[in-house]
Each structure stands twice: as structure tokens, then as C-alpha cells.
Structure 1
Amino acid sequence: MKHTRVKDLLNSNNTLHEVNAKGWVRTFRNNQFIALNDGSTINNIQCVVDFENTAEETLKRITTGAAISVTGNLVESKGAGQKYEIQVKKLEILGDSDAEKFPMQPKKHSLEFLRENAHLRVRTNAFGAIMRIRSVLSFAVHSYFQQKGFVYVNTPIITGADAEGAGEMFQITSLPLNNLPKNEEGNIDYKKDFFGKHTNLTVSGQLEGETFAMALGQIYTFGPTFRAENSNTSRHLAEFWMIEPEVAFNNLDDNMDLAEDFIQYVIKFAMDKCGDDLKFLEGRLLDEEKSKPQAERSEMALLEKLNFVLENNFKRVSYTEAIDILRDCTPNKKKKFQYIINEWGADLQSEHERYLVEKHFKCPVILFDYPANIKAFYMRLNEDGKTVRAMDILFPGIGEIVGGSQREERFDVLVEKMKALGIDEEELWWYLDTRRFGSAVHSGFGLGFERLVLFVTGMTNIRDVIAFPRTPQNADF
């Protein structure tokens, strides 16, 4: 008999004579009531065992974490909080679970403990909800761009180019590390390496994406990226996923329009599809808030925060105006900020970004026209010669969630910027070709997917929104 998902059973419009369900035991009470979950929903279905006619040996094997198959009648439940339950006629143990050793007991575990058991944490309500939301958000990304006529491009994971110019990259080599070949100058001879040159894991697919935008008009990438930044914080991962659209003939205003429309679409998509999971996570967060001092509590509940983004137009503010606001604000004057804003040119921190969103404007904010010396080489230089056509989108509770720019399409200006930063023209000859042959105004942005999932789920540590986090000193599982 083909089994039916728990989600479909709970959403049935009427009782069914006989059904089969398969899943994992969450709890087993009074030798009679099984809470069964198969991952299709946050909700369990209650399975009522006829313990008088079930072998005692079988009853002993029904433990938390065990995989089972139940066959019986789907009937209206007599218990509160559930519409249907299964009156079990046949029960089969598919996989035993050692009840004493199984880490995911039916109680609240710390997030630190769950990270140590990342291979099993998805069996908890919280992580089941997070991963279902992540899946839906991933689908929403493709849905949005495909509806808009974008072409999905798979940019390379292995690259010889440093898109950000930061140098924080993981090196790729097949050379024997205990006997590295050297050239006549005494340096490592990368010509003998697998690719014949120095190569790394990519930090971004943007540069390659730009080349496709110059032929296909509008493209997007969505894939894994890597950064060897030794930051052991709640906001950093060494391996993460990036969404990067690039659009020919779009200027910075068009880019801001696209980013705002896109991010509101994917959030609404998740809210429409993941109502039960979001309500569960909101309740979980509200419980956590009760244990915090009043000053540290969030001003908005999870669903209120998501609606805040959907219901407010994003305020567009120049970097210069933002600096003036921050320099004159009370937290800055009273030195409540960790990083005091004294002058134009400062690189804004999360505390500054959140102040602008949550306290000053009280809506999502798009900052634009940043100082050239704190932004990447490929951003278009403004006529003032000191700012570039960059943009960052700032959200409540999280700060920057999107970063983008109008790209520098002028060959001579781009070459001068590369020279000033010591970027090798020969290394990026192919990128410069896009400015030699039919260059045009174009723009794009990058959105770290985990940062988006973090915002939508309300979690506070980015390690909790990816299946197996990769961080300094940690590559388990």
C-alpha cells in the first residue's frame, strides 16, 4: 500500500477508510499514543496503537527516533489540537532507535548542542521548519527570475580571479604539499599544478555573470561561494550561497527597483507557503525573548518584521546624508555606538545600519553613492571622483542584506581603478574585453542566501540556517 504524507493526511477534507503513513516517532505515550512526523510538516499526526493486540516486544521498540510504518483508519480525533488521527491496525518497525543514546530527545536543546549534532538536528521541530523555509525560499528565487525572463547561469566554483579584491580565498592545488615544485626564482611553480596556474574557490560569480549579461541581457547566478575570512562570529560562514543577478542597460535606480521587488517577492512567497513553520518559529522566538532583559528584546515579532518589509517602500538615502544623520544622532554623541562616526568616509557597521532602519527612518533603507575607497574596483565612479554608484539594502534586526552597484562600463576608467589597486590586467583580460567590445551600462547585486534565510526565520546565528556550516576550525559532517 502506498503511503501518504502526514501533511496530506492532516489536510484531508474527509476521513479515509484505510491509510498508510511512514515516519519517525517523536513521542510515545502510555504505550498507546504515537506522535509521528515524516518531515512534510511541522505538525505530527497522532497514531493510536491497539496495545492490547500488539506484541509487547513491538511496543518496546517504539522509541523516540525509530522509523515506523502504520496502517489503519484515518478518523476524526477525539483529542484537542488535531483534526485527524490514525487508528492503527498494523504497525511495522522499519528502523530501531536506541532510546538511551538518541541525542534528539523530546525536550528543548541548546542551539550549540544541536550544531554538534548537525546530522540529526533537522529531526527537531525548529530545524525542520528552518530547512523547509530554506527550500521554499530557494524555489522562490528561481520562480521570480524565471518569471521575469532571466537566464540562469552556473558560474565556475574554481577560479583564477579574485572578484572582491580582498584576497580572502581558499587555494586549490593538486601539488604535493610536502614537496612543492619551485621555479628558477625559487617560488612555487604553479605551471605544474592541475590547472597550470594559481587557482582558488570563488568568492563570487559576478565577474563571469557580467560577461553573460553582455550577451543575454539579464541573467542570475545562484550557487555556492567561499571566503577564507577567519571570523568566528554569528554572521560569517566559510561556505555560503549567493544570488547574483546582472542586467544590461540597467542603471543604479533600475538596480534598486529590481532588488526591492525581488526581496519582497521571495519573502511573501515564503509567508504564503510556510505559514505553520513561521508561526512555530515566531512562538519559539517569543519564548526566548521573555528570558532577555527588556533593553535587549526585539521590538517586532517575526511575522510583524516580515510584514514590515512587505508593507513599507524602501527609503533611498545617500551615504553622505546617512553619515550626517549618524554623526548627529544621540547614540553617537553619547558614545553608545561601539564605532563612533566622526567623519565622512567611515565604513558603516551593523549598529549604524540598524539605527537608520529601526530608529530613524523606521522602514527598510537603501543607501547609495558610497566613498570609492571602501568599495570594490568594478563599481562605477561618479562625476565627483570620490564616490561610486554602490547600493546596500538595510533591514531591521540584521543590517545589510543586499549589496550591489552600477558597474564601471568605461574601459579607461576601469583600467585606471585596477592600476590604482594593483589588480593585474592580464589576469582579468577577459573581463576587460567586455568593456572593449560593445560595452554598455549595466548593474547587479549580490544577496547572501543564508542572510535571507536568517531574516525570514528570525534566527540569530547564520550557522543555524545552513545544513552543515563550515566555519574556522569546523568542517565536520
Structure 2
Amino acid sequence: MNSLSIKEILALNPVGQDVVVNGWVKTFRSNRFIALNDGSTIQNIQCVVDFESFDDALLKQINTGAALKLTGTLVESLGKGQNVEIQVSDIFVHGAADPETYPIQPKKHSLEFLREKAHLRVRTNTFAAVMRVRSALAFAIHQYFTQNGFYYFHAPIITGSDAEGAGEMFKVTTLDGKNPPLNEDGSIDYKEDFFGKETNLTVSGQLEAEAYAMALGKVYTFGPTFRAENSNTSRHLAEFWMIEPEMAFYDLDANMDLAEDFIKNVIRYVLDNCQEDLAFLEKRLLDEEKTKPQIERSEMPLIEKLKFIVENNFKRLTYTEAIEILRNCKPNKKKKFQYVIDDWGADLQSEHERYLVEKHFKCPVILFDYPAKIKAFYMRLNEDGKTVRAMDILFPGIGEIVGGSQREERLDVLKEKMAALNIPEEELWWYLDLRKFGTAVHSGFGLGFERLVLFATGMGNIRDVIPFPRTPQNAEF
């Protein structure tokens, strides 16, 4: 007899049939009631054991965390909270779990404790729900781009360029750290390294994706990226996943239209397909917020917040308009901001972005036309010579969730910008070639996948929406 998942059993509800189910024990009460879960759904299935029919030695192996194969008959449940249960006729123990040392017991655990048990924390309802939502979002992303004529492009993970210009990159080398080959001036001779040059883990697949967009029209990357930023905030990871579409013949307006439609579609998919998990996460969030001061509580429950994103247009305004709003707002005038806004040209911080979204407009915001000095070299310069065709999408509770731009397609302007920033042309000769051979208007954006999962699940720390977080001083598991 083939086994069924608990999700399948609960959906089919084949009362009276014999079934086989595999899973892990959540609880075993009174040597009679096993709550079994196999990860396919937030719901457990109750399995009823006639303890007189089984050997005591076998029953003693059934503890929280044990992996079992149960055979029995599906019957209508007499208890509350479930429609069906399994009357068990046979038990096979795949693997027992020592009740003295198994750390995921049926009680409330702190998220900090569970981060120390990242290999087991997905057995809790919270992390199982988060990871199922994460999986659904990943599927929705691929589905959206496929249905809209994009080609999936795999950008290299090892690169010789710093696409963002931030300089915070992880080096990739095979040289002896204690005795590397040196040049005459004492610097490391990277010509002796594996790739014959200095290389790093990528911070973005954008530049390479541009090359493919200029041949295939519309492409997207979805892969790991790395940032060696020594930041231990609840919003930063050293290893994270990025979605980066690039589109030939798209200007900034088309780019913003796509980004908004994309976000709404993937969130709508989760609303339609992860209802049980979202309901659980919403209740968890509401219970958590009862312990917070009133002023710190969210204005909307999780599901209502997601529906609000899907059902409302994003507010669009220029950076210049945003600066005026921020400069004249009460928190700025009373110096409540950590970074007070004085002049045009300031680099907006998370506190400013969240004020615009959560207090002023009370909806998602798209800011565009940023000062050239605070944005990357590849963004198209506007006619004013001061601003670039950049855009950021700001979300409540998150701040920036998407960053993008119309790319600079003019060879002469791009060369001037690279020279001003001391970026050698020989390092990006191939990128400049794209402007020599069939250049065209093109645009793209990047979305940090974990920030999207963070928003969709209502979790408060980015470490809790990725299976094994990589942060400063932490590469366990």
C-alpha cells in the first residue's frame, strides 16, 4: 500500500479506507494519541493506538521527534479540532528520538534558541510555515517571469567586478594565506591565483544579466549573492538570494510598472495557496503583539496587510518630493530621526523610508530620480545632470524592498561616469561593448528574496526566513 501525505489524506478525507502515513511525532499522549506531522501541512493528524495491542518496548520508542510509519484505518474523529483520525493497526519506528536530549519539545521556544538549532527548527510549526511560504514565493516568481516571456539566466557566482561599487565582497582565492606570491611593490600577485586575477563572490548578477537581455530581450536571475558587510541588524545577511530581471527596450516607467505588477502577483499567489500557513503566522503575530506596547503594534493583521499590497496602487514620487516631505515633517523638525534631513542629496535611511510608507502615505511607495552621487555608476543620467533614472520600492515594516533603474545606454556618458569614479575601463571592457554594438534603452531591478519572505510571513528577523543564516561570526551548520 502506498503512503499518502497528511495533506492528501485531509483533502481526500477517504473515511473507511486503510492508509499508510509517515511522519514525525509532535506529541504522544496517554500511550494512546499520537499527533503526527509530515511537513506537508501545518495540520497534524491524530493517530489512535490501542496500547494493549502493542509491545511496551515499541511504545517506549514513540516520543516527540521520533519518525514513524503508521498503518491503519481512517475514521471520523470523535474529538474536537479534526474531522478524521487514524485507528492504528501497525507501527514501524524509522528512528527514535531521545526525550532527554531532543531539543524541540512541545512547548514555546524563543526564536533565539531555535536559531541555535537551525537544523531542527523547521520541525516547529512557525518555521515549517515560513519555509512553505518561502517555497511558494519561489515558485510564484519563476511562474510569473515564465508567463511574461522572460528567460531564466544563471549569473556567475564568482566574479571579478563589484557591480554595486560598495567594495564589501568576499574574496575567492587559492593562494597561500600565510605566504602569497608578491609583486615588487609588496602587493599580492593575483596573476598567480587560480583565475589569474583578483576574484570575489558576487554581490549582484545584474551586469551579466544586462548582456543577456541585450540578446534575449527579457531575462531574470534568481540566485545567491554575498555581501561582506559587518552588520548584525535584523535586516542583513551575508548570504542571501536575489531576483534580478533585466529588460531590453524598457524605460524607467515600464520598469516601475513591471516591478509593481510582479510583487502584487507573487503575493497574490501566496494569499491563494498558503491560507493555512498565513492564518497560523497571523495568529502567531497577533499573540506576539499583545505583549508589545500599543505604540509598537502593527496597524494591520498579516493577511489584511498582504491584501492591501495586492489591491492598491503604489504611490510614486520623486526623491526631491520625498526630501521636501521629510524635511518638513515633525520627526525631522524635532530631531527625532537618528539621521536628520537638512539638504537635498541626503542618502535616505530606513527610518526615512518607513516614515514615508507607514506614517505619511500609508501605502507602498516608489521613489525615483535620485541624486547621481548616491547611486551606482550604471544608472542613466537625467538631462538635469544631477539625478539618475533610479527607483526604489518601499514597504511597511521593511523599508527598501526593491532597487532598480534605467541603465545608462550611452557609451560616452557611461565612460565619463566610470572615469569620475575611478573605475578602469579595462575591467569592464565587455560591459562597454554592449554600448558599442546595438545599444538600446534597457532597465532592471533587484529584489532581495529574504526581505520579500520577511514581509509575507510577518517575521521580525531576516535570520528566521532563510534555512541556515550566514551573518558576521556565524557560519554554523
| TM-score tier after normalising by the smaller chain length | over 0.9
- TM-superposed CA distance for 1:332, in Å, is 1.4
2:71 is matched with: 71
Paired residues of 2:247 and 2:444 also in contact (CA < 8 A): yes
1:300 is matched with: 300
Deviation digits for residues 174-219 of structure 1, max 9, x if unmatched? 0111111112332211111100110000000000000000000000
Amino acid at match of 1:140: A
SS of 1:20's partner is strand
Paired residues of 1:154 and 1:223 also in contact (CA < 8 A): yes
1:221 is matched with: 221
Instruction: For 2:151 and 2:414, locate their aligned partners in 1 and report how far apart those are by CA, in whole Å.
Output: 26
Instruction: For 1:398 and 1:471, locate their aligned partners in 2 and report how far apart those are by CA, in whole Å.
Output: 19
Matches within 5 A, 1:111-126: 111-126=111-126
Matched-pair identity in %: 74
Is 1:425 matched up with 2:422?
no
**Segment drifting more, 336-345 vs 165-174:** 336-345
Deviation digits for residues 39-60 of structure 1, max 9, x if unmatched? 0001100000011111111111
Paired residues of 2:13 and 2:84 also in contact (CA < 8 A): no
- TM-superposed CA distance for 1:340, in Å, is 1.3
SS of 2:426's partner is coil
Instruction: For 1:174 and 1:44, locate their aligned partners in 2 and report how far apart those are by CA, in whole Å.
Output: 49
2:190 is matched with: 190
1:37 is matched with: 37
1:62 is matched with: 62
2:243 is matched with: 243
Instruction: For 1:159 and 1:324, locate their aligned partners in 2 and report how far apart those are by CA, in whole Å.
Output: 40
Matches within 5 A, 1:9-408: 9-408=9-408
Instruction: For 1:88 and 1:434, locate their aligned partners in 2 and report how far apart those are by CA, in whole Å.
Output: 66
Paired residues of 1:379 and 1:390 also in contact (CA < 8 A): yes
Instruction: For 1:437 and 1:181, locate their aligned partners in 2 and report how far apart those are by CA, in whole Å.
Output: 39
Paired residues of 1:35 and 1:45 also in contact (CA < 8 A): yes
Paired residues of 1:305 and 1:396 also in contact (CA < 8 A): no
Amino acid at match of 1:190: Y
Q: Mark the CA change 1:16 to 1:207 in structure 2 (over 3 Å): closer, same or farther.
A: farther
Amino acid at match of 1:443: S
SS of 1:68's partner is strand
SS of 2:89's partner is strand
Instruction: For 2:400 and 2:299, locate their aligned partners in 1 and report how far apart those are by CA, in whole Å.
Output: 18
Instruction: For 1:187 and 1:334, locate their aligned partners in 2 and report how far apart those are by CA, in whole Å.
Output: 50
Matches within 5 A, 1:430-441: 430-441=430-441
Instruction: For 2:69 and 2:39, locate their aligned partners in 1 and report how far apart those are by CA, in whole Å.
Output: 14
Question: TM-score normalized by structure 1?
Answer: 0.99
Paired residues of 2:255 and 2:405 also in contact (CA < 8 A): yes
SS of 2:463's partner is helix
Amino acid at match of 2:131: M
SS of 1:450's partner is helix
Question: TM-score normalized by structure 2?
Answer: 0.99
SS of 1:363's partner is coil
- TM-superposed CA distance for 1:13, in Å, is 4.0
Amino acid at match of 1:68: L
SS of 1:316's partner is strand
Amino acid at match of 2:256: M
Instruction: For 2:13 and 2:91, locate their aligned partners in 1 and report how far apart those are by CA, in whole Å.
Output: 25
SS of 1:357's partner is helix
Deviation digits for residues 354-412 of structure 1, max 9, x if unmatched? 11112211211100000111100000000011100000001111111000000000000
Amino acid at match of 1:115: R
- TM-superposed CA distance for 1:308, in Å, is 1.2
- TM-superposed CA distance for 1:16, in Å, is 4.0
Instruction: For 1:284 and 1:144, locate their aligned partners in 2 and report how far apart those are by CA, in whole Å.
Output: 29
Instruction: For 1:154 and 1:336, locate their aligned partners in 2 and report how far apart those are by CA, in whole Å.
Output: 44
1:469 is matched with: 469
- TM-superposed CA distance for 1:352, in Å, is 1.2
User: RMSD of the alignment, in Å?
Assistant: 0.8
- TM-superposed CA distance for 1:347, in Å, is 1.0
Gaps of 5+ in 2: none
Paired residues of 1:407 and 1:443 also in contact (CA < 8 A): yes
- TM-superposed CA distance for 1:319, in Å, is 0.4
